[in-house]
Chain A
């Protein structure tokens, strides 16, 4: 069978793009809050204010003439990430893992000259990667060092964990692993692996690549059933706390686990994708309805995370 029937999908609680747009994104995310998450610089400053852990901001470049100062700004840093403040889908993110004077190296050991780095910043500033093509700001952040546990599961780059937060409650989570096929990027539509994570334990449930189930990492051949996210009890409240920070009712929170600093909020997304359902092997819709049925009393992020673990955990 090439196609499922709508009835089958409805029975599994799968949410489609149209329902997400109309009933969740449009209904729960006021438009004026979007800049808080579409602009990563704003998100970061907001998070720092709220005491939420984020990768350290090393500097920003706002205008073309700032590019001249790039060299001196980068001088004290061996490892860093340059990213556009308004980029989407991981576009325009350049990771430098090593440098020798004016030669920089990506994690893939590809060498980059200082001129190429400047060109990249110029492209960011001119808005090449921003959503609407409007002028942008380039951010320099400290590089995240992936937790050792992911060494066996990642081809390149740092795996991140996407948690869907609805009305402050975590409802679904997945781990995104870059592969050779995705060219080191953690975007599922480019061939990265999505691993559904049990909200109760942080253990892997089910994995997909190109929207089809797989059981081992395609590059490292490691079986996903052994995978357990570290610091899971710290991670969920951190994700849940983003609701208070932004006021968005339905969002995706992207979290990385740094070797030294533990879970850090990487970015937020006001229109999180639907692939998380594929990764979890189940639909998100019943869980969203369950959250809507909860009483509206004020609760702390820790309490909400605990409720979610009890409600949505699959391996008690």
Chain B
């Protein structure tokens, strides 16, 4: 067991990649169905492995399950991974969703299923790798590894306008990430000048005393990459196209996990590394969040394509994440993480449901539906619960996070109160567009004769939706175990950014050995470059 404990993260990162290689080199004479079976087996095992994490991670605020291997020693680059509460739940969400995506996609994806499975497994490696990396070089590597599979998923299996959406996604995301690369290099070079050793390990880079102007530039570069990924207003324009054109599975993984990496990046890297700049940029984040919430809600109301509506609703929900980050309060940060988890479940479920409808009717236009609840009652019930969760009905998962974000905003001095009021209006707005959608699709008279023959959810679909619904309910009713684990982490960030406390990270492996920790700096800062 200790061997598993020591290498669990490497296993989680590379198991999907090995699975992808295995699927890629299966004899092609076999039936395409075998690709799906293999994909399900690999991703199912991956999910089981990942369940190991919460059971053995214990409490405390350090980074657990850390592993470190030297990779390019002369550049201070190592394979350094480790997780804490911020990454744990996102990793679980990822491993949970991938088998579900395979189960649902095997019905709808007919062209080259093998490539589809391989792309998704490589994507899973990229996501888990990014979430576990504590070395900035490694993080950037996995961050980029996510791009190409997603680009292919949109571009090969997407809708009519797939190439446009895929290229837009790729170029937009890379715009942010290449500037982040410059910032990473700058940070490590400056840390090298200051501390005398060249390293990319996050714990060792914390507390590098950079002057404010440099911090501002670096925060801006990191922040741009993450803001595009979230996406925060006004960098959201790639999202509706990517979502609308992607296949169902692509939309699910994009909405549920990929976007969350933006928020995760802020929590893991941008805020702790550049605390002074974070304080300066906080109002900007808040403003961006509030505008995103309101703008997303308004635009969602006028969409006639179901997928596009959900895409814009994502902009609105993720506005809460940005707002929560900008409040720089403990409840705001906790809320931001919780919104990410809840949105991952609800929006993933919504995309799956729209995908099911699309399979049956081959259209996503809202005006093509109406009165479906009489025809497909089970589907209607599921959609109703998910819609309510997405709106933020108390007792379901959506409420907890958004409430915490509002609470955080109210505690934030300065622009916090007005932001809270505006965001609260946005919450009402979400009820406005989601209920309108539900009404238009499910209620009223049946206008199209084709809709009379729709089939209700079958066993597989029920089996897929059931665990998601259970999780939505569990997160809504018992959020405390997650929030308790997030609290010390959020506390530490707030103390670093708002109060001038040192940010200290400690990465411990399963045997209790510290593999990387923030050093205590005694030297005077060297503020001049060149």
Our verdict on whether A and B bind, yes or no, reads no
